[in-house]
Structure 1
Amino acid sequence: MVAFGGGHGLHATLSALRVLVDDLTVDDLTAIVTVADNGGSSGRLRGEFNVVPPGDLRMALAALCGSDTWGDTWARVLQHRFQGEGEMRGHVVGNLLIVGLWELLGDPVDALDWVGRLLGAKGRVLPMALAPMDIRAEVRGLVPGDPDALTTVRGQVEVATTEGVITSVELEPPDPPVSPVALGKVAEADWCFLGPGSWFSSVIPHVRVAALREALVATEARLVVVLNLEEQQGETGGFGPADHLAVLFEHAPALRVHTVLADAANLSDDQRAELRQVVDDAGARLVVDDVAADDGSPRHDPAKLAAAFARIIDGEAS
């Protein structure tokens, strides 16, 4: 299985798939992670060392840590953020470890495998591309007096927090180098999972990398798109579930989706009808299940997500 995304969304998906690994339902799990972050500890390390930002890679590795004392301890170490008032303030232990191994070994994929072995990770973590990149978005509504004018916004943080309406995203450079290992994993996969997460800055960038998009279109793997629970202020303000899926297809018209997974409690009757129309038009299957956390936050519950994934794989979901 191969999961695509970044940040907290991918962390939830990987935490769920790790349950299936523990249950021996999955024997080979790979995360392919967005690497366009330009803020925080990741952005500082990217600027200083000219490396792909390690933050989302670190979060993916933490999600794959084993559920024993060793794995739990290393997951907490990996996610620890330094306090204090000096230059180290805000840096994360896992980010420094990853960049240090990149410098020492000179191979980003090999270095991530070494971190995974240290953590007892239940799978591999690979970068979406092997070179730093930026996200460029065309945004409406930022020009006073001209709501239809388009403005170019650059940078993942800037795109994620824009006050306008995003119409499209591209990558700079437009065709970054991709690890052959990542492409091989997509080609060999039985199932691929895309989303949830920041739709324009963590999910859609995967299908804007030409080599990855072509691999996803060509693979025999069944692709599951996991929709967000609600709109995200800045990136997808005013978007319903059908809008999320529609803009994904606008950026990758040839993408073949097997299943679209949405949360039952966050889907009105009208939204369900709109979503089903988009799903039917794509020749996919709509699965509506209980996958939201019970604490009221707009996040997926890994245990519920694991159960939904198991039902989808077993063909029982409807």
Structure 2
Amino acid sequence: MSAPLRAVALGGGHGLQATLSALRQLTTDVTAVVTVADDGGSSGRLRRELGMLPPGDLRKALAALADSDADGQLWATVFEHRFGGSGALAGHAVGNLLLAGLLEVLGDPVEVLDHACRLLGVQGRVLPMSTVPLDMAADVVGLDSDPDAIRTIRGQVAIASTPGRVKQVRLHANGVEEPAACPQAVEAVLGADLVLLGPGSWFTSVLPHLLVPELHEALVSTTARRVVVLNLVPQPGETAGFSPEQHLAVLSQHAPRLRVDAVLADADSVPTPDRLRAAAADLGAQTLLDKIAAPAVPERHDPEALAASLRAALERRTDRWR
């Protein structure tokens, strides 16, 4: 019997949840590589108080990959449950607190996540892109009377919500601008058959993976089929007004040597397909346009439709390439 497809998805938040849900329909060997620069909400509080990796995006990935049996789904629901009220626990997700407790006991964030995977019945793996929390800064224009004046915005939440236009993002850890990658994440990318980048908050969840040098090199050199999944709508703040092809332009700006095999986009979200095809071709990629938006929530990807499109991309079914 042939080994299952080895798939790696890089990102964070709801975008990563969508790709993980889709990949589960294609293979049991799924690894999530998750951003660790969040500084808001429950994650930001735990990061500041305990000095730990922000757990929120890691928790979401664990829940997305939880076993579909009753026990796995119960634990996924518990992980995602947030405390209400106005006390010290208000706003914290149970999964965030559990990961914090495991980290204090075990010390190693990769070991923590492997234990959490076993608890939720995850067959794949969830890994941080770095084993230390990262800080983010961005060059932003449009915040002054001079529209070309560049200001530096610091922090993931501030960048995601800026009313200006983000031009470039940077990562650093403890003042060092070349943060170390999680070795297991690098190994997963190098050993993969399929690597997905996106969808998600482009500057704060997708591009950060390309700013960790060892992970960047792994994405450039892997023999896996590399697929970029574009967002359905521009995100208010960091990509307001962006066309689909502009997302690819900033991807290339941050990783000029990265080659891509396929760019997957929702057919109804691409107003000028020829421009997208040209931008994808500059990355070495073919373009696949499909109906991949959730009918009831048009700004979210439908996991079943996304899985079908990814299967087509892997099989190189030319009748669906346009």
TM-score under structure 1 length normalisation = 0.96
Matches within 5 A, 1:250-269: 250-268=253-271
Distance 1:137 1:297 in 2: 29
In the TM superposition, residue 169 of structure 1 has moved relative to its aligned partner by 0.3
Amino acid corresponding to residue 310 of structure 2 in structure 1: F
* Residue 220, structure 1, aligned to residue 223, structure 2: yes
Distance 1:125 1:116 in 2: 7
Aligned match of 1:130: 131
* Residue 194, structure 1, aligned to residue 210, structure 2: no
In the TM superposition, residue 10 of structure 1 has moved relative to its aligned partner by 0.1
Amino acid corresponding to residue 197 of structure 1 in structure 2: G
Aligned match of 2:86: 85
Provide, for residues 38-92 of structure 1, a one-character-per-residue CA deviation record: whole Å limited to 9, x for no partner: 0000000000110110000000000001112112111110000000111110000
In the TM superposition, residue 27 of structure 1 has moved relative to its aligned partner by 4.1
Matches within 5 A, 1:35-184: 35-143=36-144, 145-173=145-173, 174-184=177-187
Q: In structure 1, the residue corresponding to 2:100 is in which secondary structure?
A: helix
1:210 aligned to which of 205, 213, 234: 213
Amino acid corresponding to residue 161 of structure 1 in structure 2: S
Q: Which moves more between the two structures, 297-306 or 163-172?
A: 297-306
Amino acid corresponding to residue 207 of structure 2 in structure 1: I
Amino acid corresponding to residue 142 of structure 2 in structure 1: G
Aligned match of 2:4: none
Amino acid corresponding to residue 130 of structure 1 in structure 2: T
Aligned match of 2:18: 12
**Structure 1 stretches lacking a partner, 5+ long:** 21-25
In the TM superposition, residue 281 of structure 1 has moved relative to its aligned partner by 2.0
Provide, for residues 199-238 of structure 1, a one-character-per-residue CA deviation record: whole Å limited to 9, x for no partner: 0000000001111001111111111000001111101011
Amino acid corresponding to residue 133 of structure 1 in structure 2: L
2:181–2:213 Cα contact (<8 Å) kept: no
2:138–2:170 Cα contact (<8 Å) kept: yes
Distance 1:296 1:108 in 2: 34
2:180–2:213 Cα contact (<8 Å) kept: no
Distance 2:259 2:97 in 1: 38
Distance 1:280 1:54 in 2: 36
**Structure 2 stretches lacking a partner, 5+ long:** 1-6
Q: 1:190 to 1:46 in 2, by over 3 A?
A: same
Question: Which segments of structure 1 move beyond 4 Å, counting only runs of 4 or more?
Answer: none
* Residue 236, structure 1, aligned to residue 242, structure 2: no
Aligned match of 1:23: none
Q: 1:3 to 1:164 in 2, by over 3 A?
A: same
Distance 1:107 1:178 in 2: 14
Q: Which moves more between the two structures, 168-177 or 54-63?
A: 168-177
In the TM superposition, residue 137 of structure 1 has moved relative to its aligned partner by 0.4
Q: In structure 1, the residue corresponding to 2:46 is in which secondary structure?
A: helix
Q: Figure out how many residues of one structure are paired with residues of the other and give that number.
A: 310
Q: Which moves more between the two structures, 255-264 or 63-72?
A: 63-72
Aligned match of 1:305: 306
In the TM superposition, residue 104 of structure 1 has moved relative to its aligned partner by 0.6
Distance 2:185 2:13 in 1: 19
